[in-house]
């Protein structure tokens, strides 16, 4: 059996090696390493895939979130509502810009923002909401957008884990994750469903004026060469990464289907096991399974992880310490936030390997290992 990885990027690369190598070679021969043709072409192709007016590439997903908040002219002291149960970057950029992160709890099924909790947390200082499409499940955006409209707030979608995911509105309209809020942000970190071979990110919007502001902020605040209208940053997707992403974008739906097939197999295998709560799939969210994260009910997570490692099965805990329990946010009084769902999840979730190249032998071995431990736990 091929050794199991959380994400097997080497085997994925092997399948597209000739196309990727040729694309990279083309960039090398052009010597257009910054803002080369591949960057603009990728942006246009991603716009078509997402059915959105503007895609602005940048250096990484964290930059995308920061640029979004800068482009919206959020000011020090403004409050931004976000989940605590997420990767730290979501809240980190809020604090970096001297804004105040306001942490709210997540839905116990989807692990995405609890809309009722969001509305309760709104104050006169609230200016934006950052929902996270965690693990590949799209947050419940339609009621969230209604709350935002009611209170005149911006919505910035953290779509780092759900690119390619769909959200179905009440009228049956289907939209891509990242295209419903005022701004969508994503990451092309190598392990993402659409990943490059280094760092990369992008912002999405249908607002022409906002797109122009985002482009300025991402490029030193320039409106024209050497004319700087606002304070900006230097955040670019390089041409080599764009070339790789152009090869992988047409395969994204295929990659998602492969991940969902693995998730289906896990779901079926664990359906009769009370010790496991498998990932919930809301009817209006097309889950793209960036991670396959189960919740353990009464089982010892540390011992399971150790047992799996002995069986050469990797696993990860996303995330063991929520943002409101992190030292970096203590000065915001974050420890006082009452987030029982989040605190409970951080003690119970564990993610199993899921990727586009997983074969039946690997999948069977993972399932057998998990079941063996839970059916006959060591003393």
List the catalytic residues. 192
The alpha-carbon radius of gyration of the chain (Å, integer) is: 21
The two three-digit tokens of residue 44, written as one number: 């246009």
Phi, psi of 106, deg, nearest 5? -110, 160
DSSP 335: G
For the chain, how are helix, strand and coil distributed in percent, rounded to 5? 45, 15, 40
The two three-digit tokens of residue 164, written as one number: 């390619």
CB 268 within 8 A of CB 143: no
CB 114 within 8 A of CB 341: yes
Please, is 166 exposed, middle or buried when counting C-beta atoms within 10 Å of its C-beta (0-12, 13-18, 19+)? Answer: middle
The two three-digit tokens of residue 115, written as one number: 């809309």
CB 297 within 8 A of CB 274: yes
What dihedral angle (degrees, nearest 10) is formed by the CA atoms of 234, 235, 240, 243? -140
Using alpha carbons, select from 74, 210, 209 the residue that is nearest to residue 129: 74
Using CA atoms, how far apart are residues 171 and 312, in angstroms rounded to an integer? 47
Using alpha carbons, select from 272, 271, 277, 279 the residue that is nearest to residue 297: 277
Q: What is residue 352's three-state secondary structure?
A: strand
């Amino acid at each position: 059996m091929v050794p199991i990885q959380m994400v097997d990027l080497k085997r994925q690369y092997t399948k597209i090696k000739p196309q990727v190598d040729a694309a990279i070679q083309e960039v090398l021969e052009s010597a257009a390493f910054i803002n080369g043709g591949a960057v603009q072409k990728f942006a246009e192709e991603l716009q078509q895939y997402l059915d959105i007016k503007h895609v602005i590439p940048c250096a990484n997903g964290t930059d995308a979130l920061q640029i979004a908040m800068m482009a919206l002219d959020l000011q020090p002291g403004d409050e931004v509502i976000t989940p605590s149960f997420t990767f730290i970057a979501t809240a980190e950029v809020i604090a970096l810009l001297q804004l105040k992160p306001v942490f709210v709890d997540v839905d116990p099924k989807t692990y995405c923002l609890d809309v009722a909790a969001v509305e309760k947390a709104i104050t006169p200082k609230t200016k934006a909401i950052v929902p996270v499409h965690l693990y590949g499940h799209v947050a419940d955006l339609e009621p969230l957008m209604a709350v935002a409209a009611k209170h005149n707030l911006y919505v910035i979608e953290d779509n780092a884990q759900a690119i390619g995911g769909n959200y179905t509105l009440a009228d049956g309209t289907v939209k891509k994750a990242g295209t419903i809020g005022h701004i969508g942000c994503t990451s092309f970190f190598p392990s993402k469903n659409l990943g490059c071979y280094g760092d990369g990110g992008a912002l999405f919007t249908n607002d022409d004026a906002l797109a122009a502001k985002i482009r300025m902020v991402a490029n030193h605040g320039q409106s024209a060469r050497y004319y700087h209208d606002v304070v900006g940053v230097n955040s670019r997707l390089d041409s080599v990464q764009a070339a790789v992403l152009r090869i992988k974008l047409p395969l994204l739906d295929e990659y998602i289907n492969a991940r969902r097939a693995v998730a289906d197999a896990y779901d079926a295998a664990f359906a009769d096991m009370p010790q496991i709560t498998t990932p919930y799939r809301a009817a209006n969210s097309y889950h793209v399974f960036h991670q396959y994260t189960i919740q353990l009910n009464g089982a010892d997570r540390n011992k399971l992880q150790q047992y799996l490692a002995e069986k050469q099965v990797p696993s990860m805990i996303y995330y063991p310490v929520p943002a409101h329990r992190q030292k970096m946010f203590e000065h915001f009084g974050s420890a006082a936030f009452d987030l029982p769902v989040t605190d409970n999840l951080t003690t119970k979730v564990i993610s199993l390997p899921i990727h586009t190249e997983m074969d039946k032998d690997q999948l069977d071995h993972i399932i057998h290992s998990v079941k063996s431990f839970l059916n006959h736990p060591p003393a």
